């Protein structure tokens, strides 16, 4: 293999001339920061997801921070989330002086266990909210979570970084809780390079987010310079943040949004392909099939008793064969910061630890060719058979 030309990257954005032309249009317009492109992106996103308010921001991390802030999470509060996530989900809770309270995942879905949430809620009166994460694009049990919200009077902010553009029985993922936050990071299902969107049906919260995403200024920057009432005057109503989305990114996002349904179909086909090819292997557990899954990630687990090599060695072998592999996630509770701050031990969340020990993520993106997909499947199959444990050891 020629590693430079034949290596199949783990992730690759799907961008075409439409995105190029949109960005060039903005570059030539004389207006680069938040303006009409961002506004149009928000209206189009609102329509797409069926929410009352969509607020474009420069990342999902900033969107999660703003959403928690807008719903009043503050010092001393506890917010339940899962340790099986990217650090952004939990760090935003710390930004506000609140504390994450980790709850284990369900074995089969990688998503937070609603049964475990209920147990924790019965013991903790300082819990103010839940951040469920639709891991890899698989919808959490939002029905159960919304029932717990009602029973314990909680705020629910969906981390929908992986789940665009999927509808479940309860509605469009990300629009079911009090607010939802999507990521347009370079590897996500649609991208603006860096970027995110907060959606909420709560008008007050939307207003707060719109003010706090831009320094706590009470008027949008566009209004100040370009509306029919130009004005140099503005008021600062709070110490806000600098989280607005520039028009260069928004223009790209608008084009990606038009392609989102097509991308989704392709990712579903890729997942179907992996299921067909890898289903019968006795050394792998494939993710559970699901109707409403965004397939941002395809996460099989090795069955360690069936192999003579570890998960890390399995990944190294696939990488050597030219396949980009990743791991989602190294659990937060085993990270030095969370261990030191909260005294978590690895065995505190057994399902999370077990999943992490055996999991790996295969490439899933619309640009993968059939030949590349065949190569990925063959590499997994060949590696498994090469290191398969025989009955006599
Ligand atoms: C589950 C999850 N939440 C939040 C984020 C943060 O997204 P962003 O990079 O847009 O801030 C990520 C990013 O990878 C993520 O995977």
CATH number at residue 237: 3.40.640.10
| Domain co-membership, 245 together with 264 | no
Question: Which atom from ligand 1 is nearest to the alpha carbon of 64?
Answer: 4
Q: Which of 385, 255, 371, 265 is nearest to 317 (CA)?
A: 385
Determine, yes or no, domain membership for 225. yes
245 lines ligand 1 (CB under 6 A): no
Based on the domain organization, do 61 and 133 belong to the same domain?
yes
Ligand 1 center from residue 189 Cα (angstroms): 12
143 is catalytic: no
Q: Would you say residue 5 lies in a domain?
A: no
Ligand 1 within 6 A of CB of 111? no
Q: How many domains does the chain have?
A: 2
Instruction: Specify whether 288 is located in the same domain as 341.
Output: yes
DSSP 131: E
Q: Do 125 and 253 sit in the same domain of this protein?
A: yes
Which of 191, 224, 257 lies at the terminal end of a domain, its last residue?
257
* H/E element, 127: strand 127-131
Residues 326 and 181 reside in one and the same domain: no
Is 187 part of any domain?
yes
Residue 390: the pLDDT is 84
- Exactly one of 188, 259, 301, 340 is catalytic; name it: 188
pLDDT at 222: 53
- CA trace torsion 246, 249, 255, 258 (10° rounding): -80
Residues 270 and 351 in one domain: yes
Last residue of a domain, one of 208, 234, 257: 257
Cα 183 to middle of ligand 1, angstroms: 6
Provide the pLDDT for residue 283: 98
Query: Checking DSSP bridges between strand 179-183 and strand 171-172, what pairing results, if any?
Result: unpaired
What pLDDT is attached to residue 32? 97
Domain assignment present for 6: no
Q: Is residue 391 situated within a structural domain?
A: no
Tell me if 190 CB under 6 Å of ligand 1: no
Within this chain, do residues 352 and 363 fall inside the same structural domain, yes or no?
yes
Same domain, 227 and 302: no
Choose the final residue of a domain: 227, 257, 287: 257
| Range list of H helices, 13-170 | 17-29, 36-49, 60-70, 87-95, 114-123, 142-152
- Residue 233 has what pLDDT? 77
Ligand 1 pocket, residue 189 CB under 6 Å: no
- CB distance 274 to ligand 1 below 6 Å: no
Dist. CA 306 → ligand 1 center (Å): 33
Residue 4 belongs to a domain: no
Find the CATH number of the domain harbouring 322: 3.90.1150.10
Query: What one-character-per-residue DSSP string does 264-292 give?
Result: HHHHHHHHHHHHHHHTT-TTEEPPPP-SS
Q: Which residue range forms the structural domain that includes residue 309?
A: 260-386
CA of 60 to the centre of ligand 1 (A): 6
Question: What whole-number distance in Å separates Cα of residue 199 and Cα of residue 327?
Answer: 28
**Tokens 């370009």 sit on residue:** 226
Copy the structure tokens of residue 291.
């109707």
Question: In the chain, which ranges are continuous DSSP H helix?
Answer: 3-6, 17-29, 36-49, 60-70, 87-95, 114-123, 142-152, 203-212, 221-226, 247-278, 311-320, 336-342, 350-358, 370-386
Atom of ligand 1 nearest to the CA of 61: 11
pLDDT tens, position by position, for the chain (393 residues)?
555 569 999 999 999 999 999 999 999 999 999 999 999 999 999 999 999 999 999 999 999 999 999 999 999 999 999 999 999 999 999 999 999 999 999 988 999 999 999 999 999 999 999 999 999 999 999 999 999 999 999 999 999 999 999 998 889 999 999 999 999 999 999 999 999 999 999 999 999 999 999 999 987 555 555 556 556 778 899 999 999 999 999 999 999 999 999 999 999 999 999 999 999 999 999 999 988 999 999 999 999 999 999 999 999 999 999 999 999 999 999 999 999 999 999 999 999 999 999 999 999 999 999 999 999 999 999 999 999 998 765
Q: Are residues 273 and 167 located together in one domain of the fold?
A: no
Please report whether residue 12 resides in a domain.
no
Model pTM?
A: 0.96
Task: State the closest ligand 1 atom to the C-alpha of 188, by its place in the atom list counted from 1.
Answer: 14
Same domain, 232 and 330: no
Same domain, 156 and 221: yes
Is the same domain home to 247 and 141?
yes
- Please indicate, yes or no, if residue 392 is contained in any of the structural domains: no
């Amino acid at each position: 293999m020629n590693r430079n030309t034949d290596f199949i990257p783990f992730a690759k954005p799907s961008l075409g001339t439409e995105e190029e032309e949109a960005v060039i249009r903005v570059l030539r317009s004389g207006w680069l920061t938040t303006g009409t492109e961002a506004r149009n992106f928000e209206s189009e996103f609102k329509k797409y997801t069926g929410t009352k308010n969509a607020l474009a921001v420069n990342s999902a991390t900033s969107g999660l921070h703003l959403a928690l802030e807008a719903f009043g999470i503050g010092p001393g509060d506890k917010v339940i989330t899962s340790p099986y996530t990217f650090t952004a989900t939990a760090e935003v809770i710390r930004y506000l002086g609140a504390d994450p309270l980790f709850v284990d995942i369900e074995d089969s879905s990688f998503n937070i266990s609603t049964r475990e949430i209920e147990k924790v809620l019965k013991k903790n009166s300082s819990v103010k909210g839940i951040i469920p994460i639709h891991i890899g694009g698989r919808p959490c049990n939002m029905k159960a979570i919304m029932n717990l919200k009602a029973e314990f009077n909680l705020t629910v902010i969906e981390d929908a970084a992986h789940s665009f553009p999927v509808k479940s029985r309860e509605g469009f993922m990300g629009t079911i809780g009090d607010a939802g936050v999507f990521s347009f990071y370079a590897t996500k299902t649609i991208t603006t390079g860096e970027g995110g969107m907060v959606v909420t049906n709560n008008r007050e919260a939307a207003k707060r987010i719109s003010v706090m995403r831009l320094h706590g200024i009470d008027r949008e920057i566009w209004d100040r310079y370009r509306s029919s009432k130009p004005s140099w005057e503005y008021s600062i109503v709070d110490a806000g943040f600098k989280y607005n989305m520039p028009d260069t990114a928004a223009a790209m996002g608008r084009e990606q949004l038009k392609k989102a349904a097509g991308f989704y179909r392709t990712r579903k086909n890729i997942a179907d392909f992996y299921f067909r090819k890898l289903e019968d292997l006795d050394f792998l557990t494939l993710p559970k099939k699901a109707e409403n899954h965004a397939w941002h990630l395809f996460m099989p687990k090795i069955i360690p008793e069936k192999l003579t090599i570890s998960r890390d060695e399995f990944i190294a072998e696939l990488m050597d064969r030219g396949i980009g592999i990743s791991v989602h996630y190294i659990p937060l509770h085993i990270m030095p910061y969370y261990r030191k701050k909260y005294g978590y031990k690895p065995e505190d969340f057994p399902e999370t630890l077990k999943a992490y020990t055996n999991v790996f993520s295969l490439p899933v993106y619309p640009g993968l060719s059939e030949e590349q997909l065949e190569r990925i499947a063959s590499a997994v199959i060949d590696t498994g058979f090469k290191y398969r444990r025989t009955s006599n050891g």
